[in-house]
Structure formats: structure tokens, C-alpha cells
Amino acid sequence: MNLSDPDGLAALIRRRRMVRRFTADPVPAAEVAALVDLGRYTPSAGFTQGTSFLLLSDAQVDAFWTVSAEPGASNPWLDGMRTAPWLILVWTSEQAYRQRYAEPDKSAPGRGWDGEEQPWSAPYWWVDAGMAVQNVVLAATASGLGACFFGIPPQRQDAVRERFGVPAQQLSVGVIALGRPGDDGPSGSGRRRERRAYADQVRLGQWENR
Ligand SMILES: Cc1cc2nc3c(=O)[nH]c(=O)nc-3n(C[C@H](O)[C@H](O)[C@H](O)COP(=O)(O)O)c2cc1C
């Protein structure tokens, strides 16, 4: 891969920005399905593939906002996000990882999950979901769409599960709002904060000189 190719992956990664307002143009279901399919081609611990997606459009999008936002609420962020023709609800399952790591190839001493505490440096069901989300968001950007990832407030998650028939073991990772990019002006932390300097964020060999 040529990292300087203006149409290549490096340029795509650098130009991706969260989009918080969308045009009224529809996005065909097949296009959304193709993007979400790429979200399935990500690494996952033990190849558990514990991330799941629930795709909402039209009246389902309205229903989502009804159960996840205060009645009558309006603010620039919410008004912008409500213009998204598609919402991709992303879910993960701790239980799926517990089951996977009880399988014979993963349950050898020191490798499996035999205690109460999950045995990894970080809960892998969340790690894997983040990888999946980024694939979808990058694929959306590559195909000229816009996307924004946001979380469902914890106190609203049961109502969302209830409305859309999501099993209780599914944990809400968040939502990818998707559509054709509208004019959202300067919005979001990414426009207010500087990117950290490379030398601050990346250390070579040792964190600090002693
Ligand atoms: C875990 C996570 C949660 C986020 N939650 C929100 C959110 O609730 N609302 C929002 O508008 N953007 C949200 N964002 C987007 C970030 O604000 C954005 O990625 C960041 O400001 C950098 O901007 P950029 O992605 O446009 O480069 C979230 C991003 C991540 C990774």
C-alpha cells in the first residue's frame, strides 16, 4: 500500500470525521447491509464474533428516538442526529465470550475463564465491538456516506431493548447514525480540541527517560 495515495486507506483514515447532520436523501438498505457486512470482518478474541448489529430505518428510527430521548427534547446535537435515515445499534455479549472461552481449545489452564473476574487486560467483548464499529464507519466514509457513533444513556437502554426485542444478555455498545453527510458546521469535540502531538502519544522503546 502506498500511504501517500490520495485515494488509499491512509487518506481515508485521516479524512474520516464524525458527521452529525444528514441530508434527506435515502440510503438503500442494500448499501447499509454491505457496510455492516464489513463490520463482521474484524479481529475478535478467540474469534468469538460477539458483536451484533440491529439496523433501523424509517418508523423504527422515530421509535428509537421516542424511547431514547426525553419527550419533546430539542437541541442542536439531537436535531442533527434525528436527520439520520439509518441507525445501526451495536451490541455485544459478555456471555458469548464466557461460552467461547469455556470451549476445549480455550479452557486450558491459564488460557480460559474459570473465575468470576474476566481474565484479560480489558473486557474483550467491548474491545471487539470497537473494532467492528470502526470498520463500518470507515466503510461508510469510503462510500461517500457520513456516520456518527454515540452511546445510549444507561437509563434508556432497557426501554430500547424492550421496544426492539433485544435479549437482556445483549449489552449496548452504542449507535452508528448513518446517512448522506449534511452541513453540520463545526460540531463535536474533534473540532474543538487539537489532535495530540505524535511525540506525546507515541513513545519509542521507553515511556520516559530515567
Ligand atoms: C466511544 C465513543 C463515544 C462517542 N460518543 C459520542 C456522542 O455521544 N456524541 C457525539 O456527537 N460524538 C460522539 N463520539 C464522537 C467523538 O466526539 C469524535 O470521534 C471525536 O470528537 C473526534 O472527532 P472525529 O471522529 O470527527 O475525528 C464518540 C466517539 C467514541 C469513540
Give the model confidence (pLDDT) of 103-143 as tens digits.
999 877 766 677 677 788 899 999 999 999 999 999 999 99
Which segments of 94-203 are extended strands (E)? 146-150, 171-179
Atom 12 of ligand 1: nearest residue by CA position: 150
Atom 27 of ligand 1: nearest residue by CA position: 17
Burial 22-50 (b: 16+ CB within 10 A, else e): beeeebeeebbeebbeebeebebbbebeb
- Residue pair 67/60 in contact (Cβ under 8 Å)? The answer is no
For the cut 80, the answer to whether the pLDDT of residue 155 exceeds it is yes
Instruction: State CA 140 to chain mean position distance.
Output: 12
Atom 18 of ligand 1: nearest residue by CA position: 190
- The pLDDT value recorded for residue 111 is 63
Arithmetic mean of pLDDT, 52-75: 96
- The pLDDT value recorded for residue 47 is 97
What pLDDT, in 10s, does the model give residues 71-98? 999 999 999 999 999 999 999 999 999 9
Within 10 angstroms of residue 210's Cβ, the number of other Cβ atoms is 4
Domains and CATH numbers, the chain: 15-107+119-183 (3.40.109.10)
- Cell, residue 118: 474476566
82, 141, 148, best to mutate for ligand 1 pocket (most atoms within 8 Å of CB): 148
Distance CA 99, CA 105 (A): 12
Q: Which helix (H) or strand (E) holds 12?
A: helix 9-15
What pLDDT, in 10s, does the model give residues 164-179? 999 999 999 999 999 9
pLDDT band at 204 (very low <50, low <70, confident <90, very high): very high
**Mean pLDDT for the chain?**
93
Q: Indicate yes or no: pTM above 0.85.
A: yes
Ligand 1 atom having least distance to the Cα of 81? 11
